[in-house]
């Protein structure tokens, strides 16, 4: 298995995993407000990536034209400038690969990008809401902010036809899926996207 190209193994994994994700999104479509041109999930984050995910992202970057690469490099420079002024503070930024509200490397996006929008259940039972519910988007119609919990009816009125469902889609769960182990995927260290970018030779690609 080790001789079989890691990139190809990861692509096999993504093909299978994405089909399962598509079923999840379809099953929860009553609560999903994602649509083309909506990029809130790409405008505020740290974007944790494994080395495997980041290397694959770079494969997509290599295929871009020079104008697109220039925009991304400009975005990276802006992020680093702003980050230097927020030393020792949690720094949230817009993904540098976002161009005109669209992901320029969509096919090569990371796990967190693929799963965002769904309700996530952690191993300890905690639920993580997609933050866009604060904007009146995903799951907002069935989330009680004051109680911090999902509700299916209010004042005796049913709020939804579909049961809100949480999924074990946290990165640690995804990386430990049976298919990931079968394919002997080597994920590598987890870092923020900008950390990986700054350690890479992206300007030479």
Q: Where are the domains of the chain?
A: 6-123+164-204
- 165 pLDDT tier (thresholds 50, 70, 90): very high
- Which one, of 80, 115, 110, 107, lies nearest residue 94 by Cα? 80
State the chain's mean pLDDT as an integer.
93
In order of 7, 179, 193, the CA distances from 14 in angstroms are 10, 10, 19
pLDDT for 122-150, tens place per residue?
A: 999 888 999 999 999 999 999 888 887 88
- Which one, of 98, 125, 92, 84, lies nearest residue 42 by Cα? 98
Return the pLDDT at 136. Answer: 92
For the segment 2-20, the average pLDDT, to the nearest whole number, is 90
pLDDT for 29-50, tens place per residue?
A: 999 999 888 999 999 999 999 9
DSSP state of 137: -
């Amino acid at each position: 298995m080790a001789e079989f190209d890691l990139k190809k193994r990861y692509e096999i994994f993504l093909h299978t995993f994405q089909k399962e994700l598509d079923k999840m999104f379809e099953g929860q479509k009553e609560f999903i407000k994602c649509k083309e041109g909506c990029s809130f999930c790409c405008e505020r984050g740290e974007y944790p990536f494994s080395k495997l995910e980041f290397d694959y992202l770079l494969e997509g970057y290599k295929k871009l034209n020079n104008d697109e690469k220039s925009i991304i490099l400009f975005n990276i420079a802006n992020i680093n400038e702003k980050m230097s002024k927020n030393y020792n503070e949690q720094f949230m930024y817009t993904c540098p690969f976002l161009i005109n509200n669209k992901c320029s490397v969509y096919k090569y996006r990371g796990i967190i990008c693929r799963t965002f929008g769904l309700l996530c259940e952690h191993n300890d039972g905690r639920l993580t809401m997609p933050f866009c519910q604060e904007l009146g988007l995903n799951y907002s119609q069935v989330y009680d902010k004051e109680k911090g919990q999902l509700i299916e009816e209010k004042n005796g009125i049913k709020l939804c036809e579909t049961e809100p469902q949480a999924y074990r889609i946290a990165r640690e769960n995804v990386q430990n899926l049976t298919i990931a182990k079968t394919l002997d995927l080597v994920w590598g260290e987890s870092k923020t996207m900008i950390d990986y970018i700054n350690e890479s030779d992206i300007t030479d690609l």
